[in-house]
Chains A and B, each alone.
Chain A
Amino acid sequence: NAGVTQTPKFQVLKTGQSMTLQCAQDMNHEYMSWYRQDPGMGLRLIHYSVGAGITDQGEVPNGYNVSRSTTEDFPLRLLSAAPSQTSVYFCASSIYVTGNTIYFGEGSWLTVV
Chain B
Amino acid sequence: KNEVEQSPQNLTAQEGEFITINCSYSVGISALHWLQQHPGGGIVSLFMLSSGKKKHGRLIATINIQEKHSSLHITASHPRDSAVYICAVVLGGATNKLIFGTGTLLAVQP
User: Across the two chains, which residue of chain B brings its CB closest to A43?
Assistant: B100
Give CA–CA (A50, B98) in the complex, Å. Answer: 13
> What sequence of 0s and 1s flags, for each residue 4-35 of chain B, a beta carbon within 8 Å of any chain A beta carbon?
10000000000000000000000000110101
How many A-B pairs have beta carbons closer than 8 Å: the answer is: 62
How many residues of A sit at the interface, in one of the four size bands?
Answer: 20 to 34
Which residues of B are found within 8 Å of A42, using beta-carbon distances?
2, 4, 86, 88, 99-103
Known A48-B96, A48-B97, A98-B30: A43·B86 in contact at CB below 8 Å: yes
B42 & A98 in contact (Cβ 8 Å cutoff) = no
A 36-76 binary contact with B (CB < 8 Å = 1; else 0) = 00001111110010100000101100000000000000000
Give chain B residues whose Cβ lies under 8 Å from the Cβ of A92.
43
Chain B: how many interface residues by the 8 Å CB criterion? 24
- Does more than half of chain B's interface fall in helix, strand or loop, or is it mixed? strand
A residues with a Cβ closer than 8 A to B are: 31, 33, 35, 40-45, 48, 50, 56, 58-59, 88, 90, 92, 97-104, 106-107
Q: Could you list 12 A-B pairs, sorted by A, with CB under 8 Å?
A: A31-B96, A33-B98, A42-B4, A42-B99, A42-B101, A42-B102, A43-B88, A58-B97, A97-B98, A98-B31, A99-B48, A101-B48
Which residues of A have CB within 8 Å of B99? 42, 45, 59
Tell me which residues across on chain A come within 8 A of B43, comparing CB atoms. 90, 92, 104, 107
